Structure 1
Amino acid sequence: MTNQYAVVLAAGQGTRMKSKLYKVLHPVCGKPMVEHVVEQIESLNMNEIITIVGHGAEKVKERLVDRSKFVMQEEQLGTAHAVLQAKSLLENKEGVTLVICGDTPLIQDTTIEALMKYHHEKRAKATILTTTIEDPTGYGRIIRDDLGIVGKIVEEKDASEQEKRVTEINTGTYCFDNQVLFDALSKVSNDNAQGEYYLPDVIKILKDADEVVAAYRIDDFEESLGVNDRIALAEAGKIMRKRINEKHMRAGVTLANPESIYIDAGVVIGQDTVIESNVTLRGKTTIGEDCIITSGTDCTNAEIGDRVWIRTSEIEDSKVGNDVQIGPYAHLRPESDIHDHVKIGNYVETKKAVVGEGTKLPHFIYMGDAEIGKNVNVGCGSISVNYDGKNKHKTIIGDNVFIGCNSNLIAPVTIHSNTYVAAGSTITEDVPEEALAIARTRQTNKEGYMSKMNFVK
Structure 2
Amino acid sequence: MIQRYAVVLAAGQGSRMKSKLYKVLHPVAGKPMVGHVIEQVEATGANEIVTIVGFGAEKVKDYLGNRTNYAVQEEQLGTGHAVIQAETHLKDKEGITLVICGDTPLLTAETLNNLFDYHQEKGAKATILTAHAQNPTGYGRIIRNKENSVEKIVEQKDASEAERLVQEVNTGTYCFDNRLLFETLSQVGNQNSQGEYYLPDVIEILKKQNEIVDAYKMISENEGKGVNDRVALAEASQLMRERINKMHMQNGVTMIDPTTTYIDSDIVIGSDTVIEASVSLKGKTIIGEDCFIGAHSEISNSIISDGVRVTNSTVKDSVMEKNSNIGPYSHLRPNSHVGEAVHIGNFVEIKNATLGLKTKVGHLTYIGDADLGENINVGCGTIFVNYDGKNKFRTTVGKNVFVGCNANLIAPLTIGENVYIAAGSTITRDIPTEAMAIARARQENKLEYYNKLPH
Match of 1:39 in 2: 39
> For residues 420 and 214 of structure 2, what CA distance do their matches in structure 1 show?
80
Match of 1:165 in 2: 165
Match of 1:283 in 2: 283
> For residues 451 and 20 of structure 1, what CA distance do their matches in structure 2 show?
71
1:260-295 alpha-carbon deviations (Å, 9 max, x no partner)? 111110100011011111111011111111111111
Aligned residue type for 2:318: S
RMSD, aligned α-carbons: 0.8
> Which structure 2 residues correspond to residues 103-252 of structure 1 after superposition, within 5 A?
103-252=103-252
Give unpaired runs (5+ residues) of structure 2. none
Deviation of the 1:219 alpha carbon: 2.6
1:240-262 alpha-carbon deviations (Å, 9 max, x no partner)? 11111111111111111111111
Task: Give aligned-pair identity as a percent.
Answer: 60
Match of 2:99 in 1: 99
Match of 2:408 in 1: 408
Equivalent residue of 1:396, what SS? strand
Counterpart check, 1:452 vs 2:452: yes
> For residues 326 and 90 of structure 1, what CA distance do their matches in structure 2 show?
54
> For residues 405 and 236 of structure 1, what CA distance do their matches in structure 2 show?
50
Aligned residue type for 1:226: G
Aligned residue type for 1:388: D
Match of 1:353 in 2: 353
Aligned residue type for 1:122: K
> For residues 58 and 438 of structure 1, what CA distance do their matches in structure 2 show?
59
> For residues 41 and 105 of structure 1, what CA distance do their matches in structure 2 show?
11
Aligned residue type for 1:369: D
> For residues 56 and 394 of structure 1, what CA distance do their matches in structure 2 show?
42
Match of 1:56 in 2: 56
> For residues 233 and 417 of structure 2, what CA distance do their matches in structure 1 show?
55
Counterpart check, 1:10 vs 2:24: no
Deviation of the 1:451 alpha carbon: 3.3
Equivalent residue of 1:358, what SS? coil
> For residues 66 and 133 of structure 1, what CA distance do their matches in structure 2 show?
36
> For residues 214 and 451 of structure 2, what CA distance do their matches in structure 1 show?
100
Give unpaired runs (5+ residues) of structure 1. none
1:154-210 alpha-carbon deviations (Å, 9 max, x no partner)? 111111222111111100000000000000111111111111111000001111111
Deviation of the 1:135 alpha carbon: 1.8
> For residues 323 and 161 of structure 1, what CA distance do their matches in structure 2 show?
65
Aligned residue type for 1:236: A
> For residues 255 and 167 of structure 1, what CA distance do their matches in structure 2 show?
36
> For residues 6 and 171 of structure 1, what CA distance do their matches in structure 2 show?
16
> For residues 450 and 392 of structure 1, what CA distance do their matches in structure 2 show?
45
Deviation of the 1:384 alpha carbon: 0.5
> For residues 35 and 237 of structure 1, what CA distance do their matches in structure 2 show?
14
Match of 2:87 in 1: 87
> For residues 174 and 384 of structure 2, what CA distance do their matches in structure 1 show?
60
> For residues 449 and 83 of structure 1, what CA distance do their matches in structure 2 show?
90
Match of 1:393 in 2: 393
Match of 2:425 in 1: 425
Equivalent residue of 2:80, what SS? helix
Counterpart check, 1:434 vs 2:425: no
Deviation of the 1:392 alpha carbon: 0.6
> For residues 195 and 391 of structure 1, what CA distance do their matches in structure 2 show?
61
Aligned residue type for 1:317: D
Deviation of the 1:416 alpha carbon: 1.0
Match of 2:334 in 1: 334
> For residues 137 and 291 of structure 1, what CA distance do their matches in structure 2 show?
46
1:365-416 alpha-carbon deviations (Å, 9 max, x no partner)? 1000011010000000001100100111101111111111000000111111
Counterpart check, 1:380 vs 2:380: yes
Aligned residue type for 1:238: Q
Equivalent residue of 1:244, what SS? helix
1:301-351 alpha-carbon deviations (Å, 9 max, x no partner)? 110011111110000000000011111111000000001010000000000
Match of 2:70 in 1: 70
Q: What TM-score do you get using the length of structure 1 for normalisation? A: 0.98
Deviation of the 1:33 alpha carbon: 0.5
Equivalent residue of 2:66, what SS? coil
> For residues 147 and 297 of structure 2, what CA distance do their matches in structure 1 show?
57
> For residues 111 and 297 of structure 1, what CA distance do their matches in structure 2 show?
35
Aligned residue type for 2:272: D
Deviation of the 1:65 alpha carbon: 1.0
Deviation of the 1:136 alpha carbon: 1.1
> For residues 48 and 199 of structure 1, what CA distance do their matches in structure 2 show?
20
Aligned residue type for 1:80: G
> For residues 21 and 197 of structure 2, what CA distance do their matches in structure 1 show?
26
Aligned residue type for 1:423: A
Task: Give 4+ residue runs of structure 1 displaced > 3 Å after superposition.
Answer: none
Deviation of the 1:134 alpha carbon: 2.0
Aligned residue type for 1:151: E
Equivalent residue of 1:65, what SS? helix
Deviation of the 1:424 alpha carbon: 0.4
> For residues 358 and 132 of structure 1, what CA distance do their matches in structure 2 show?
58
Aligned residue type for 2:365: I
Aligned residue type for 1:330: S
1:215-235 alpha-carbon deviations (Å, 9 max, x no partner)? 001131100000111111111
> For residues 453 and 254 of structure 2, what CA distance do their matches in structure 1 show?
64
Q: What TM-score do you get using the length of structure 2 for normalisation? A: 0.99
